[in-house]
Amino acid sequence: ILMKKNVTEIVCFCCFIILTPFLSFAQVGYNTPGVITGFGNSGFGTSSINNTATGTGNSGFGYFSLNGLSSGVNNTGLGTFALRTLSTGSYNTATGYNALSTNNGDLNTASGSFSLQANTTGVSNTASGDNSLYSNTTGFSNVAMGIHTLYTNVSNSNLVAVGDSALLLSNGGFNLVAV
C-alpha cells in the first residue's frame, strides 16, 4: 500500500509539472491562442490576446481585443478592437468599440466607442464618452468626460473637459479646464 501511494503521488506531481504551463491562461474563440507564454492572461473572442509572448495579467474580451499584445501587463480590453494594437503598454483599460485601439502608452482609461482611439504613446489619460479624446496621440494627463470632449486634441497635456463637446476643437494650450 505504501508503494502504491508513492507511485500515485509521483504520477500526480508529474501531471502537475507537465500541465502547469497550460493552466496560466484561458483562450476561447476562433484563432486563439497564438503564441502565449505569459501568465494569468484571459482572452475571449476571435484573435483576442493572440500574440502575448510574455505579458501577464491581461484580459481581452471581444473580436481582436489586445490582439497585438506581446509583453504588456495588467491590461483589460472589453469590446471589438479594444486595445487592438497594444504591444508593450501596461495598466490600460479600454471599454467600447475601438477604444484605445492604437494605444501603446501606459495608465490610460477609455470608456466609450472610439474614445482615445488614436492614442499612441500618451500616458495617464482618462476618456469617458463616445469619441472623447479621439485624436489624442501623445498628450498626457488629460481628462475628458462627455461625448466628443477634447475630440481634436493631439498632443496637449493637463487638460480637463467635462460636458458634451467640451473643448471639441481645442488643439492648443496646456492646463486648460472647460466645463
Q: Cα–Cα distances in Å, from 89 out to 14, 38, 76?
A: 36, 15, 11
pLDDT digits (tens, 9 = 90+) for 70-103: 889 999 999 999 999 999 999 999 999 999 999 9
End-to-end CA distance of the chain: 77
Q: Tell whether pTM > 0.85.
A: no
DSSP E strands: which ranges in 86-139? 93-95, 109-111, 126-128
Q: How far apart are CA 105 and CA 99, in angstroms?
A: 13
Provide the pLDDT confidence category of residue 20 given band limits of 50, 70 and 90.
Answer: very low
Q: Residue 15 phi/psi, 5° resolution?
A: -65, -40
Q: Give residue-wise pLDDT tens across range 138-165.
A: 999 999 999 999 999 999 999 999 999 9
